Structures are given as C-alpha cells and as structure tokens.
Amino acid sequence: MNVQQRAGTQTAYPWGDDIGTNNSNCGECGSRWDNARTAPVGSFAANMFGLYDMVGNVWKWVEDCYHPNYDGAPIDGSAWTTACLDEHRGEVRGGSWAYVPVTLRSAYRFAVGTDYRSVDVGFRIGRTMVAP
C-alpha cells in the first residue's frame, strides 16, 4: 500500500505507531464504545485527508477481491479485481469495535464471502474529486 493511500502516513495508524487511548473504536482502544457498538461518526480525529473513522468502528468492504499476499498487486493504487483467489470472496479492512488494535492497521485484511453480514461490517461511499 503506498503512502498516498494511507493519507500521507507511514505509521501503523493515522495518528502514529501506538494505538494510544481514545483514537478509535476497537476492542481495546480506550473509547466508551469499545467492545459494545459503533461510535457516532466523527467521534475521533480525522486523518490527514480529512476523513473520519477510517480505522475501527466497523470493518469496511473494499473493492479489491481477496488475495493471500500482494504478489502481482497493482502499484498505481487501483483496486485489485483480477486473478482473484476465489471469485466469490470479498475483502474487508480497518478493524471494528469488536476486534483488537492490530486489526486496525491498513495492511490487515481478511476474506469474507460475498453474502457475509455482521453488526460490525459496513462500507464507505466515495467518489473521485476533481481539483478546482
């Protein structure tokens, strides 16, 4: 994953290499929602792109299909939607309120079936912005 995709950071989390306290919502993050439920949007500081809740709170479905490693992954930041291990698998990233801090790292992901549903999985709608 390149630095552009990680909001200009090279650290484990947007705020640094240590989970700290009350930086996100996860099983051991020190927020009042840990191991209980989702936190309201904007409960924690935004990343350097101004985006809130990119780690923790809920696992995020991503466009990429799951691969066991990064051999052959696109290097331009585009989604990896070809040569999937199993065409019926999706991928989630970002950790959730019910998981430990290591799962919040941007590199941590796992495969799920396309019909997988859970109270701690969601998605983020995005769009490409054109500079003025």
Question: What's this model's pTM, rounded to 2 decimal places?
Answer: 0.81
Map out the domains of the chain as residue ranges: 1-126
Q: What's the CATH fold of domain 1-126?
A: paralog of FGE (formylglycine-generating enzyme) (3.90.1580)
Of 6-20, 23-37, 77-91, 109-123, the least confident: 77-91
Separation between Cα atoms, residue 114 and residue 89, nearest integer Å: 6
50 contacts 126 by C-beta, under 8 angstroms:
no
Separation between Cα atoms, residue 36 and residue 95, nearest integer Å: 14
Please write the tens of the pLDDT for every residue from 30-68: 999 999 999 998 999 998 888 888 889 999 988 888 888
Percent of the chain scoring above 90 in pLDDT: 34
Confidence check: pLDDT of 1 > 50: no
- DSSP one-letter code for 89: E
